[in-house]
Structure 1
Amino acid sequence: MSGLEVGEPIAAYLPAFGGYSEVVAADTRFVRSLRNGAGEADLAEAAGLPCVFPTAFGVLKDAGRLRKGEDVLIHSAAGGVGSAAAQLARELGAARVYGTVGSVEKIPYAAALGYDGVFLREGFAEPLAAVTGGRGVDLVLDPVGGPIREQSLTVLAPFGRLVAYGDLGRHEQWTASVWDLWKGNRTIAGFNIGDLARRAPERIGDYLGEALRLLAAGRIRPGVTRTLPLAEAAKAHHLLETGTGRGKILLSLT
């Protein structure tokens, strides 16, 4: 990307990390201005976009092939990517968006994001079948893995897609049966932003730019639920590692 001026507010995806620094060198392919045709995105809110929103775009559009009018199920619905994907799924034309969370305490937060239904992750298949009349959903986004991933295949509608993009549950490697995929008209796809950064970096930059435009237009919220000083970085990591956080946690240098 070119045309940036000295002092211009920007957001950047950092594939090699380094986001805790006061000064950082960034590949211009991952950099986008906060100023766009919709206005100027708020700097603090924009800080919550660079990783999760390009990831959400990728799992929905590229790996998930979401089409207008389809139904989506998002696991880890109250997390950073889940919060982003719920909003972007609507922007991309999804008909109904459902979510699952790991604890009862997270249901109100996830429900406020506009899900059509939020269920506890354990045992989610039965209530989902009830609200969809047994049809299931066209797309499942799964960062959890293990038994949840395996169970997610059973709730796919004909020609449904399951996108794996993480392993929060730290489960052993799970192998799907090609026979089951073939006989059930199901598809499994994968998304990894690290691989995309190496082989198609411009796509991440484009998705970040689109997210900044939607933010400036008031169409999306970054989902920042907590801002901590840099000195409390360990606390932020503890919230993430224990799964007790919601949405995005920012570290402030000011």
Structure 2
Amino acid sequence: MTDKQVGQRVAAFTPGGGLAEVALANAEVTVSVPDGIPLETAASAPLVVSTAVLLLTERARIRLGETVLMHSASGGLGSVVSQLAATLGSGRRIGTVGRAGKIADGLAAGWDDVFARDDDLAEAVHKVAPGGVDVILDPTGTGLLDLDLSLAAPGGRVVLFGNAAGGTPAPLPQAGRLIGGNVGIIGFSMSRLTASNPRAAAEALTNGFELIARGSVRPDITVVESLGSVAPVHDLLAGGLGRGKYVVQVGT
């Protein structure tokens, strides 16, 4: 049973095949889009705003004044995480990007400091966060985990929520390193949460819409005019040249 009606504006987590004129989704993870929120903004919310909400509030459990660092900070998720962290009362917000040419995009996404992931990264972060970083959000897999742990403050949390670098994730560090540093490593997968706890995913999406409606977060969106225009956007993203979140307009 569902309270949704034919013709109602909704957004949903799809199990796959969402880039289409017609898509199927479980009613449990389908949420009404509030009046006043454009559909292109709503389309970005399931995997961008909801993920930001869950990363910061449920997995990292950010507290007032804590510093935040996020890798791949210039993308659509990075922009929303930066805005949401500020809304939640975070301290300094630090972003990293794959190369120096993306620093301007990271700053435009709202981060206080943005650094390229090069040999000088650790030194640069320590200069702006000499006591270490409380919350580190890493979508790259485990390739940067040693760096993450070296940057973490006592009591810090490293949240691994993707494997953008590809390949097989490396083994986690020995427990002694975590115990000795009072540091936690936490995993997160939106797709697994949607499958195992759809109510939590839907609640995060509802909360995300409330944040958008209040103006607390504003996803950085580029509308792709048609399905036929998607391939060049994929090439752009594969080359690391994208900025923000891309949504595709289908039909009329």
The verdict on how the C-alpha distance between 1:226 and 1:108 changes in structure 2, with shifts beyond 3 A counting, is farther
Question: Which residue does 2:238 correspond to in 1?
Answer: 241
Question: Which residue does 1:22 correspond to in 2?
Answer: 21
Aligned-residue RMSD, C-alpha: 1.8
Q: 1:218 Cα shift?
A: 2.1
Q: 1:139 Cα shift?
A: 0.6
**Are the equivalent residues in 1 in contact too, given 2:69–2:95 (CA < 8 A)?**
yes
CA shift digits 1:126-166 (9 cap, x unpaired): 1110012x211101000113442220110111110101111
Structure 1 runs, 4 residues or longer, greater than 4 Å off: none
Q: Percent of aligned positions with the same letter in both sequences?
A: 37
**Are the equivalent residues in 1 in contact too, given 2:79–2:110 (CA < 8 A)?**
no
Question: Which residue does 2:145 correspond to in 1?
Answer: 149
Query: TM-score with structure 2 length normalisation?
Result: 0.91
CA shift digits 1:73-124 (9 cap, x unpaired): 0110012222221122122221221100112222122212221111112232
Question: Which residue does 2:185 correspond to in 1?
Answer: 188
Q: Given residue 4 of structure 2, which amino acid in structure 1 is its aligned partner?
A: L
1:87 partner SS: helix
Question: Which residue does 1:46 correspond to in 2?
Answer: 42
Question: Which residue does 1:70 correspond to in 2?
Answer: 66
Q: Distance in 1 between matches of 2:135 and 2:77?
A: 15
Q: Distance in 1 between matches of 2:92 and 2:199?
A: 30
Q: Given residue 87 of structure 2, which amino acid in structure 1 is its aligned partner?
A: E
Q: Given residue 95 of structure 1, which amino acid in structure 2 is its aligned partner?
A: G
**Which stretches in structure 2 are left out of the alignment for 5+ residues?**
none
1:47 partner SS: helix
Q: 1:186 Cα shift?
A: 0.9
Query: TM-score with structure 1 length normalisation?
Result: 0.91
Q: Distance in 1 between matches of 2:2 and 2:85?
A: 30
Q: Given residue 24 of structure 2, which amino acid in structure 1 is its aligned partner?
A: A
Q: 1:228 Cα shift?
A: 4.0
Alignment equivalent of 2:221, drawn from 224, 238, 243: 224
**Are the equivalent residues in 2 in contact too, given 1:66–1:94 (CA < 8 A)?**
yes
**Are the equivalent residues in 2 in contact too, given 1:57–1:207 (CA < 8 A)?**
yes
Alignment pair present for 1:139 and 2:159:
no
1:49 partner SS: helix
Q: 1:174 Cα shift?
A: 1.9
Question: Which residue does 1:83 correspond to in 2?
Answer: 79
